[in-house]
Structure 1
Amino acid sequence: MFRGVLIDKHEGQQTAAVQMLDEASLPEGEVTVRVAYSTLNYKDALALTGASPVVRRFPMVPGIDFAGTVVSSSNPAFQPGDAVVLNGWGVGEVHWGGLAELARVPAKWLIPLPPAFTPRQAMGIGTAGYTAALCVLALARQGVQPGQGPIVVTGANGGVGSVAVALLARRGYEVAAVTGRPQEAEFLRALGAKEIIDRAELSQPGKPLDKERWAGAVDVAGGQLLANVCAAMRYRGVVTACGLAAGMAWPATVAPFILRGVSLLGIDSVMAPLPDRLAAWQCLAEDLDPALLESLLREVTLDEVIALAPELLAGQVRGRLVVRVGAPA
């Protein structure tokens, strides 16, 4: 038996609770992992609260990522004792995830834990930081280089945004951080942001084309913010879009794309192929200082995650929530 968060649904009513689970209930997979740390992500909060139909099979252990140690493996790629990380692949949605002491998954979903990070640090990065790295690498692949102009990051106080600010600054980019919490300006400047922009400035309907401001963008918001970011891109600017915190709708025009040659790149972290995952974690190992990472982390226990989910959805959480999954001492 092992402890975990379990979401269930009966007669249309969803419940979530920490309870004892039977190892025999684990889903199929080649590798069983003892989870050391997981995280509480925006998607996990949606699943736990039922605010969005994230969970597609019940009962479900949420947690879209985890870091831990292999207990057993029928695949020669992994041996007992190996330190591993998982991000995405539908865990916490269609396959039991990381908010439990044990997880069982296909071997192809796992990557070795980079030596630069402890399991706690890896989950401090988590899917949010790994997604940020995918965005930063995509900007570079599209030719956006330091010195070409500012890079704007929306949702800069959140998990993706805060790591994106830190990575971009470390790589020499000038970063403009958009936040709905201007009182956190010093935190963002400590990460490397040169300019702080109040989210309200970009939240209202704007012009199809605005003054050219940014060479690149990392957008976690969607909605009106994304439309306004695109409208203010410089000629041949590049926008990476990876979230919908401000809404799934996109009230924009084609003007930035056909008049300025702006590119809009979708960033999917869930099903990204192995080479992209390894490149993202290599980027994180090289460009994210673990000491700086500590300022982004708040460690919580498995028993706290259900109550914290509504706070995360309300935008009241700064940085990364790292969940110590092991049973309390």
Structure 2
Amino acid sequence: MTFQALQTREVDGGFQTDLVERDLSELGSEGVLVRVQWSSLNFKDALSATGNKGVTRNFPHTPGIDAVGVVEEAGDGPFSKGDAVICTGYDLGMNTDGGYAEYIRVPAEWLVPLPEGLSPRDAMVLGTAGLTAALCVESLLDTGVNPEQGPVLVTGATGGVGSISVAILAKLGFQVAAVSGKQDAVDWLKQLGASEVISRDAFLENAGKPMLKEQWAGAIDCVGGDALTTALKSVKYGGSVACCGLAGSPELNMTVFPFILRGVNLLGVDSVELPVEIKQQMWQLLADEWIPGGMSQLEAAEITLEDVNEWVAKILKGGVRGRVVVRLP
């Protein structure tokens, strides 16, 4: 049996991604076979699809770190044929062939049931970005951050994690200050629930100072680098900053002053190797109490496998606002 898949391979010293026909036997026989209905486009997918060896070491390879679909072969695990499941993170789309294909085969331990009330399509509007956003919000709540303490800052607010973070925080009653370098996104961010939108240049204006005025009860940083250090320097006493991104930089160049003079907490957030039980809890929240208002507002585009290369180029240039969902044949 054959199926369609995107495949990135090395060609003449570079990398090329094409739609190909593969045989199901190439996926092996171990684990759970899932017929993929929807995937999504993430920055990590764009890196994999352009040959970034920090994400994917071995080629040819099928990108796609997100997938939702239906179990076709269950194996010995807890699932049955016909079950609707979500797969995000672990090695999917990195060195295990990912969601840009009609089928994936993965360990049962990587799968969570699709929560009741959440459509497969909406699950991929959220995807890894939504899961990461939920984990960031949960980490702030766990350290005691609440709406009465003041506004919460979100950097990289037009990206997938940032935009969903804005929407979830607003739904939970927080005032949200969104940082963005896209002037044309101000109205969109306010529609998602931001009470204030700060330009990236204005936010980073005093990034070189060791300490800044206390402004935020907490923060979610999706960028890293100067954005993260500026957030840490401007969070109120005892506040927390959830860190989940490095698109700006992986470097953390700052003093320890915010930690030892204001008791600020830096919270690392990982959604890749997280225990599947916690992923299931987060997905249940996203399907229920935390489902962002205006899901359609979060969506940048619905595309097919044939469109992925075009959108990979856009996301690498910072030209995507919100989430891109990928419809499988």
TM class by smaller structure: over 0.9
Deviations 1:45-84 (A, max 9, x none): 1111235631122221100010000011112411111000
Q: State how 1:222-241 maps to structure 2 within 5 Å.
A: 222-241=224-243
> What SS does the aligned partner of 1:287 have?
coil
Shift in Å, 1:179:
0.7
**Aligned pair 1:99/2:100, yes or no?**
yes
Q: State how 1:248-259 maps to structure 2 within 5 Å.
A: 248-259=250-261
Instruction: State how far apart, in whole Å, the 1-side matches of 2:72 and 2:275 are.
Output: 25
Shift in Å, 1:247:
1.2
Partner of 1:221: 223
Letter of the 1:142 counterpart: T
Letter of the 1:282 counterpart: Q
* Residues 134, 276 of structure 1: 8 Å contact kept: no
Partner of 1:45: 46
**Aligned pair 1:162/2:163, yes or no?**
yes
Shift in Å, 1:203:
3.4
% identical aligned pairs: 46
**Aligned pair 1:323/2:329, yes or no?**
no
Farther off after superposition, 218-227 or 245-254: 245-254
Partner of 2:183: 182
Instruction: State how far apart, in whole Å, the 1-side matches of 2:286 and 2:199 are.
Output: 27
Partner of 2:278: 276
Deviations 1:139-163 (A, max 9, x none): 1111111211111001111110111
Partner of 1:302: 305
Q: 2:264 aligns with which of 262, 265, 271?
A: 262
Deviations 1:80-136 (A, max 9, x none): 110000110011111111010000000010000011211110000000011000101
* Residues 219, 240 of structure 1: 8 Å contact kept: yes
Shift in Å, 1:27:
4.5
Instruction: State how far apart, in whole Å, the 2-side matches of 1:253 and 1:220 are.
Output: 20
Instruction: State how far apart, in whole Å, the 2-side matches of 1:292 and 1:162 are.
Output: 12
Partner of 1:113: 114
Shift in Å, 1:289:
4.3
Partner of 2:85: 84
> What SS does the aligned partner of 2:148 have?
coil
- Report how many residues are paired: 326
CA distance 1:256–1:33, change in 2 (3 Å): same
Instruction: State how far apart, in whole Å, the 2-side matches of 1:46 and 1:52 are.
Output: 9
Gaps of 5+ in 1: none
Farther off after superposition, 193-202 or 43-52: 43-52
Instruction: State how far apart, in whole Å, the 1-side matches of 2:204 and 2:310 are.
Output: 29
Q: State how 1:186-201 maps to structure 2 within 5 Å.
A: 186-201=187-202
Instruction: State how far apart, in whole Å, the 1-side matches of 2:308 and 2:8 are.
Output: 12
* Residues 8, 50 of structure 2: 8 Å contact kept: no
Shift in Å, 1:28:
5.2
* Residues 164, 292 of structure 2: 8 Å contact kept: no
Instruction: State how far apart, in whole Å, the 2-side matches of 1:232 and 1:223 are.
Output: 15
> What SS does the aligned partner of 1:210 have?
coil
Instruction: State how far apart, in whole Å, the 2-side matches of 1:61 and 1:154 are.
Output: 30
Farther off after superposition, 244-253 or 116-125: 244-253
Instruction: State how far apart, in whole Å, the 1-side matches of 2:9 and 2:313 are.
Output: 18
Instruction: State how far apart, in whole Å, the 2-side matches of 1:266 and 1:299 are.
Output: 31
Instruction: State how far apart, in whole Å, the 1-side matches of 2:321 and 2:223 are.
Output: 16
Farther off after superposition, 204-213 or 287-296: 287-296
> What SS does the aligned partner of 2:63 have?
coil
* Residues 168, 291 of structure 2: 8 Å contact kept: no
Partner of 1:312: 315
Shift in Å, 1:241:
0.5
Shift in Å, 1:290:
6.5
* Residues 170, 176 of structure 2: 8 Å contact kept: yes
Shift in Å, 1:317:
0.6
> What SS does the aligned partner of 1:147 have?
helix
* TM-score, normalised relative to structure 1: 0.95
Farther off after superposition, 65-74 or 177-186: 177-186
> What SS does the aligned partner of 2:105 have?
strand
* Residues 35, 66 of structure 1: 8 Å contact kept: yes
**Aligned pair 1:123/2:124, yes or no?**
yes
Farther off after superposition, 311-320 or 7-16: 7-16
Shift in Å, 1:232:
0.5
**Aligned pair 1:58/2:39, yes or no?**
no
Instruction: State how far apart, in whole Å, the 2-side matches of 1:3 and 1:62 are.
Output: 13
